[in-house]
Amino acid sequence: MATYKIAVLPGDGIGPEVMKETLKVLRSVERAIGGLRFEFQEYAVGARCYLETGTDLPPETFAACKESDAILFGSAGLPEVRFKDGTEIAPQLTLRFTLDLYAGIRPIKKYAGIRPVLAGDPPIDYVIFRENTEGLYASRGGGVKVGEELAVDNMVITRQGTERIVKYAFHFAQRRKGAPADGRSRVTCVDKSNVLRSMAFFRETFDRISSSFPYIPAEHAYVDAMTVYMVQKPQWFDVVVMENMFGDILSDLGAGTIGGLGMAPSADVGDTYGLFQPSHGSAPDIAGQGIANPMAQVLSAAMMLDWLADRRSDPQAQKGAKAIESAMAEVLKDPRYHTPDLGGRATTAIVGEAVAEKIKASANPG
């Protein structure tokens, strides 16, 4: 019996609402699949926590993140709550840097039943690998402002930082079935090497690493052109790798092509720790109404099980990840379970319940 200690950080806005449904789904997995137990422990984080305690990431929360097997994160930050320098409260970014969660893994997958966003409804199933610890966001908290006249943030690209994210992307491509267009594996490097020296270095490093994976085709795209390809031929892509800020922006665009941010999960992982959270933020515009789409958070929990399965060579955790994804895919085929962002009228709780029930039903058919 594998027991996993999970640090649960619901955070702000819709974070606690989608987290509640996700824990329901995980409890259903625990009951349906033998040999798997979760110990959930909740911790404070985010903007509300900052207002109440003076810190957005209390020491006990940080310690729990390090001591747990995985971190399940909701969303943090509220537009009206800011640090003194004007930046938003974003403990998820702090955790990425302090726990060295260098790989931001963001699947962009269109599920059957979701109304088409793109003309022709192309099949979409690729994964964005966003470098999480350097790039332009390495300047967070360290940029320079000179009086009221000048501000500078630097792009940081290191050989080691680029090598490890690129290697992770190629290893990940080996485990996938390839791009929907032709079933072939490929890794696409997205950069702006035609303009910036740092980006040319990113591409050079990508090319060097790609030569040790000769059986996986490698290709390049400039980030501006990539925004067009993601809309016009998304079925071409399998695994895509890029620096931090480009990954932040393109993963939101990708989410838009599959039904919105409520459908986009993510994993932030390093060699030691793993944090799993939806790609969306706290969505204060819909918070407290019970209408947030919980699927991105639920899918992030499936990614957590997948990661734990890999680390612990645990087939039960693997089964759990698969059970969540299949249940979710089935539930989405029925528009009665679509929240307003998907054009439906379902509540967060109805969707969570439906996924939990589907997992139970598939474990006990008939």
Kindly tell me which residue out of 292, 301, 302, 304 binds ligand ATP, with binding defined by CB under 6 A.
Answer: 292
Compute the least distance from the CB of residue 300 to ligand ATP, in Å.
11
Q: Is 286 in the site for ligand ATP (CB under 6 A)?
A: yes
Q: Is 281 in the site for ligand ATP (CB under 6 A)?
A: yes
H/E stretch holding 189 reads strand 187-191
Kindly tell me which residue out of 261, 269, 355, 359 binds ligand ATP, with binding defined by CB under 6 A.
Answer: 261
User: Could you give phi then psi for residue 151, rounded to 5 degrees?
Assistant: -140, 140
Residue 318: what residue type? Q
Compute the least distance from the CB of residue 92 to ligand ATP, in Å.
8
**Which CB, 203 or 280, lies closer to ligand ATP?**
280
| Residues in 40-79 that interact with ligand ATP by CB under 6 A | 77
Q: Is 283 in the site for ligand ATP (CB under 6 A)?
A: yes
* Cα–Cα nearest to 202, from 243, 142, 261, 248: 243
Q: Work out the angle between the directed axes of helices 197-210 and 159-175 (0-180°, nearest 10).
A: 50
Stretch that binds ligand ATP, among 101-109, 115-123, 176-184, 274-282 (CB under 6 A): 274-282
Compute the least distance from the CB of residue 252 to ligand ATP, in Å.
6
Residue nearest to ligand ATP as judged by C-beta position: 281
Kindly tell me which residue out of 293, 300, 316, 347 binds ligand ATP, with binding defined by CB under 6 A.
Answer: 293
How many residues are listed for the chain in this entry?
366
Q: Where are the alpha helices (DSSP H) in the chain?
A: 15-32, 47-53, 59-67, 91-98, 159-175, 197-210, 223-232, 244-257, 295-312, 315-332, 348-363
Residue 143: what residue type? G
Q: Is 341 in the site for ligand ATP (CB under 6 A)?
A: yes
**Which CB, 107 or 262, lies closer to ligand ATP?**
262
* Cα–Cα nearest to 336, from 328, 325, 347, 327: 347
Stretch that binds ligand ATP, among 125-133, 157-165, 230-238, 276-284 (CB under 6 A): 276-284
Beta-strand relationship, 144-146 and 150-152: antiparallel
Compute the least distance from the CB of residue 302 to ligand ATP, in Å.
16
Compute the least distance from the CB of residue 322 to ligand ATP, in Å.
23
**Which CB, 10 or 77, lies closer to ligand ATP?**
77
Give the angle 37-43-44 at the CA atoms, nearest 5°.
155
Burial 239-252, CB ≥16 within 10 A → b, else e: bbbbbbbbbbebbe
Q: Is 280 in the site for ligand ATP (CB under 6 A)?
A: yes
Q: Is 262 in the site for ligand ATP (CB under 6 A)?
A: yes
Q: Is 132 in the site for ligand ATP (CB under 6 A)?
A: no
Q: By the 8 A CB rule, do 134 and 201 touch?
A: no
Total residues binding ligand ATP (CB under 6 A): 15
Q: What is the largest CA-CA distance in the chain?
A: 71
Residue position matching structure tokens 């509300």: 48
Instruction: Give me the residues that bind ligand ATP (CB under 6 A), please.
Output: 14, 18, 77, 261-262, 280-283, 285-286, 292-293, 296, 341
